[in-house]
């Protein structure tokens, strides 16, 4: 005999939301299994003599809601193997009801037939109580999943299942990434339940501070924010603005730009980011990262206009690359430390690029990199296969060797040979930097700044003496330079 599983929606609150079909299914059942008795219609059902059993004990038995819902579904399915079962859930069976999702999967595997009896959802009750039409845009999120769900500030947002103050705190922290602390929100408890409905408007920062508003009937409603310059802006805002700037009615300068014309700005913005980091200026770093991000969006917009790729292709590509190259996080590969991570990274990259010679990975290092940086990377890849000195002293000795060769050729006046030997000398110095874990670009940048500080000292001191640098002797400037060194400038 085939047994049936009938899943009934109890509606969001009072008996006025319970359909006649649902009431009939409950009254004709031998026994009704409830996910929870914590629902406003249960007392009315009890008065009608409807017998039921609940799974409220599962909430104490298991540590997480996910475990509760999965094991409730398993138990209901097991009962349906033996007899026809009526299982009742709050609201609508297809709105935020995890046990129903599990039951559909389990019943399908067991060949159990499921019938559904419609029930009004909490969404119906909330939009009715607030008199808001969801057709204009409404995103619904679960408070229990708020860390992995993203609100859309350009439309209304609803967060359900704000069970307690701890959950409210999690919701407040997550929403703080997208809204200001004084964002107006609407807390709705017991929507559509006569005598229990409570609607309060407050600021976001107050969400976990108010008493008596958090339970299984509590939801949060956030009206959309108009684009009036007062709200936070997000990635979609940036891409939208760029599309407008590149449009026929946009900015003439922005419309003229190409990948080639933008190259200097990309390099410039990258170095300004580095400069902000070097100076420890986090406020400026925030601004400079925005300028650098603009370059990525700018290039992606131009590429999309010509049918090559979009910004979504760019983000998809980097996400897929990160997933592939971190098998120790997203797969089953074990690593003992960051050295293993880098080794795996290079091996995966080599496989992706279909490289069968080690030199190919060295040749792939961009020629557009600063020469010192490119030399550093080339040497590191050579060292990975054992082409390296045994000790830093050997690398230092190579500097002396290259210096001697330069001095020997210097007297010849052969400019091409001089340039070649100076390049060898630079390359040897970079090798020592690599041994000592010093980034040559960083080291030279620090020296540049040190030189500027000391030269400023020389000029300021000369002006104090009423002298112009052009009128000072080298010995005078050298004395001031040594004074700056003693002051550790």
Q: How confident is the model at residue 228 (pLDDT cuts 50, 70, 90)?
A: low
Window from 111-115, 417-421, 428-432 with minimum mean pLDDT: 111-115
pLDDT digits (tens, 9 = 90+) for 381-411: 888 878 888 899 999 999 999 999 998 888 8
Q: Is the separation of the CB atoms in 52 and 32 below 8 Å? A: yes
52 beta partners: 32
| C-alpha to C-alpha distance for 388 and 236, rounded to whole angstroms | 48
pTM of the model: 0.61
The second-level CATH assignment, the architecture, of 235-309 is Orthogonal Bundle (1.10)
CATH T-level assignment (fold) for domain 4-120 = Cobalt-precorrin-4 Transmethylase; domain 1 (3.40.1010)
CA distance 81 to 446: 75
**What is the fold, at CATH topology level, of the domain defined by 124-222?**
3.30.950
Please give the radius of gyration of the chain, using alpha carbons only, rounded to the nearest integer: 34
Taking only the tens place, the pLDDT of each residue in 335-356 is 888 888 888 877 887 777 777 7
CATH code, 355-438: 1.10.287.1080
Q: What is the pLDDT of residues 438-478, one digit of tens each?
A: 989 888 888 998 999 999 999 888 888 888 888 888 888 89
Domain ranges of the chain: 4-120, 124-222, 235-309, 355-438, 442-486
481 alpha carbon, distance to own chain's centre: 49
pLDDT value at position 118? 87
Computed over every residue of the chain, the mean pLDDT equals 89
Are the CB atoms for 91 and 9 separated by under 8 Å?
yes
The set of long-range contacts for 277-282, using a CB threshold of 8 Å and a minimum separation of 24, is 278/445
- Given a contact cutoff of 8 angstroms between Cβ atoms, the answer to whether 168 and 214 are in contact is yes
Residue 229 has a pLDDT of: 58
Helix, strand or coil for residue 354? Answer: coil
User: Average pLDDT in the 207-235 region?
Assistant: 82
Q: Are 317 and 306 in contact (CB under 8 A)?
A: no
Using one digit for the tens of pLDDT, what is the confidence trace for 113-158?
889 998 888 888 899 899 999 988 999 999 988 888 889 888 999 9
Return the beta strands (E) in 250-299 as ranges: none
How far apart CA 285 and CA 291 sit, in angstroms, is 10
> Which has the higher per-residue pLDDT, 266 or 108?
266
CA distances to 54, 267, 276 from 289, in Å: 54, 13, 10
Cβ within 8 Å of residue 169, ≥6 positions away: 207, 208
How many CB atoms are located within 10 Å of the residue 399 CB? 17
Same fold flag, 124-222 and 235-309: no
- From CA 168, how far away is CA 379, in angstroms rounded? 54
Overall average pLDDT of the 79-87 stretch: 88
**So what's the pLDDT on residue 489?**
77
């Amino acid at each position: 005999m085939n047994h049936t599983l009938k899943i009934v929606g109890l509606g969001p609150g009072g008996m006025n939301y319970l359909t006649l079909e649902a009431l009939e299914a409950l009254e004709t059942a031998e026994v009704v299994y409830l996910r929870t008795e914590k629902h406003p219609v249960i007392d009315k059902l009890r008065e009608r003599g409807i017998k039921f059993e609940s799974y409220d004990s599962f909430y104490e038995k298991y540590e997480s809601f996910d475990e509760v819902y999965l094991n409730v579904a398993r138990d209901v399915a097991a009962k349906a193997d033996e007899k026809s079962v009526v299982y009742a859930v709050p609201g609508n069976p297809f709105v935020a009801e995890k046990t129903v999702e599990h039951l559909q999967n389990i019943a399908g595997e067991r060949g159990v037939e499921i019938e559904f009896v419609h029930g009004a959802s909490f969404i119906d009750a909330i939009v009715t109580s607030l008199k808001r039409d969801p057709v204009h845009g409404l995103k619904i999120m679960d408070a229990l999943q708020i860390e992995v769900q993203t609100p859309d500030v350009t439309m209304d947002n609803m967060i359900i299942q704000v069970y307690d103050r701890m959950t409210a705190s999690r919701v407040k922290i997550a929403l703080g990434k997208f809204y200001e602390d004084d964002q107006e929100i609407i807390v709705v408890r017991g929507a559509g339940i006569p005598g229990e409905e409570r609607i309060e408007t407050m600021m976001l920062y107050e969400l976990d501070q108010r008493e008596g508003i958090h339970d299984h009937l509590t939801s949060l409603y956030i009206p959309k924010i108009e684009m009036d310059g007062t709200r936070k802006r997000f990635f979609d805002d940036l891409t939208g603005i760029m599309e407008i700037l590149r449009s026929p009615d946009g900015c003439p300068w922005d419309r003229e730009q190409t990948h080639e014309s933008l190259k200097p700005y990309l390099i410039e913005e990258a170095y300004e980011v580095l400069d902000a980091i070097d100076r420890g200026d986090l406020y400026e770093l925030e601004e400079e990262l925005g300028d650098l991000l603009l370059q990525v969006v700018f290039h992606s917009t131009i590429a999309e206009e010509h049918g090559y790729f979009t910004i979504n292709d760019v983000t998809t590509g980097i996400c897929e690359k990160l997933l592939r190259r971190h098998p120790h996080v997203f797969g089953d590969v074990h690593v003992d430390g960051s050295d293993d991570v880098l080794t795996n990274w290079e091996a995966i990259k080599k496989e992706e690029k279909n490289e069968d010679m080690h030199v190919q990975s060295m040749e792939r290092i961009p020629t557009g990199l600063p020469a010192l940086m490119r030399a550093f990377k080339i040497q590191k890849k050579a060292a990975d296969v054992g082409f390296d000195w045994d000790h830093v002293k050997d690398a230092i000795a190579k500097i002396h060797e290259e210096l001697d060769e330069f001095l020997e050729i210097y007297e010849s006046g052969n400019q091409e040979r001089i340039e070649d030997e100076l390049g060898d000398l630079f390359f040897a110095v970079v090798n020592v930097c690599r041994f000592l874990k010093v980034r040559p670009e960083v080291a030279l940048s620090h020296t540049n700044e040190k030189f500027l500080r000391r030269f400023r000292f020389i000029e300021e001191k000369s002006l104090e003496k009423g002298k112009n640098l052009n009128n000072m002797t080298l010995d005078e400037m050298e004395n001031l330079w040594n004074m700056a060194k003693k002051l550790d400038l």
